[in-house]
Amino acid sequence: MKLPRDEFGAKFRLYRDHLQREIGRFRDAASVLRQLNELQPQYLHELNVATAFFRTVEDALFTTIILWADKLFDEEGERGLFDFLTFIEYNRDWMTVTELQRRKVYSDDHWMLRPENRGAPITAKTIEEDRQRIRDLAALKSIKLRRDKFLSHFDRDYFFDRQKLQREAPIKWEELAQAGDVMTTMMNNYSSDFDGNLYAAEALGIDDLTRLLYAARKGRG
């Protein structure tokens, strides 16, 4: 549904900020879990000092990754990226360069208004291309299967055969990173067209785990 200009602006800011927060939650969880996995050979002794703690953290992070990705990418969801794209589609008249200039009170020669500094205009076609970018993500099949057959309820076949789950729904770091990149790039593109604001892909201090394990090693040394 198309909204009045001011109502659209208020909803866009609210929707953008909340989506960015949830995308950040997904990306941070994926990053920390990957670090735990990749640092294990190097810091095996330090991790084994608190085995139960780190195993619980790993399980919690993995569950967060699957559930948050499923919510963000659910094509039928009431919120998430597909719903956001529909919101933009109905209100794309408020996402033009003219609206950006009005919203930010830019002068006519402002660098943000130059065609070479901007992407393609937002159209129904470009929005559908963004939908297809999500549908094409390699991680989606595994995420959906794990959510439907294990996290939402215990499917008999997968509950008793955990290797079947690993075989049919592998989770690959590169595919999770690609999913995070697609979300961040997409949101930044629309955010830039709205008011020029961009969001960082990762939170500050995301490498704290390495420093923590290194400090533990120095402490026992």
pLDDT digits (tens, 9 = 90+) for 64-93: 999 999 999 999 988 999 999 999 999 999
Residue 32 domain-assigned (yes or no): yes
> From the CA atom positions of the chain, what is the Rg in Å?
21
| Residue 140: burial class (beta carbons within 10 Å; 0-12, 13-18, 19+) | middle
CA distance 95 to 182: 20
Residue 221: pLDDT over 60: no
CA distance 96 to 193: 7
Residue 136 domain-assigned (yes or no): yes
Other Cβ atoms within 10 Å of 129 Cβ, number: 11
Residue 221 domain-assigned (yes or no): no
Q: For residue 73, give the nearest of 122, 117, 134 by alpha carbon.
A: 134
Q: For residue 188, give the nearest of 180, 196, 177 by alpha carbon.
A: 196
- Please state the separation of Cα 149 from the chain's center in Å: 22
Which residues make Cβ contacts (< 8 Å) with residue 110, sequence separation at least 6? 101
Q: For residue 29, give the nearest of 72, 92, 81 by alpha carbon.
A: 72
- Give pLDDT tens digits for 12-23: 999 999 999 999
Q: In the prediction, which pLDDT does 184 show?
A: 95
Mean model confidence pLDDT for the chain: 91
Residue 207: pLDDT over 70: yes
Q: Provide the residue range defining the domain that includes 186.
A: 5-216
Q: In the prediction, which pLDDT does 201 show?
A: 72
Residue 128: pLDDT over 90: yes
User: What does DSSP assign to residue 72?
Assistant: H
Amino acid at 39: L
Q: In the prediction, which pLDDT does 204 show?
A: 58
Residue 54 domain-assigned (yes or no): yes
The pTM of this model reads 0.90
- Give pLDDT tens digits for 34-65: 999 999 998 888 888 888 999 999 999 999 99
Asked if 85 contacts 149 with a C-beta cutoff of 8 angstroms, the reply is: no
Asked if 64 contacts 25 with a C-beta cutoff of 8 angstroms, the reply is: yes
Which residues make Cβ contacts (< 8 Å) with residue 183, sequence separation at least 6? 23, 26, 27, 72, 81
Percent of the chain with pLDDT over 90: 71
- The structural domain count of the chain equals 1
Confidence of residue 118 (pLDDT cuts 50, 70, 90): confident
| Token representation of residue 63 | 């569950």
Asked if 89 contacts 3 with a C-beta cutoff of 8 angstroms, the reply is: no
Q: In the prediction, which pLDDT does 212 show?
A: 84
Q: In the prediction, which pLDDT does 205 show?
A: 65
- Give pLDDT tens digits for 165-200: 999 999 999 999 999 999 999 999 999 999 999 887
CA distance 115 to 49: 57
Q: In the prediction, which pLDDT does 117 show?
A: 75
- Give pLDDT tens digits for 129-153: 999 999 999 999 999 999 999 998 8
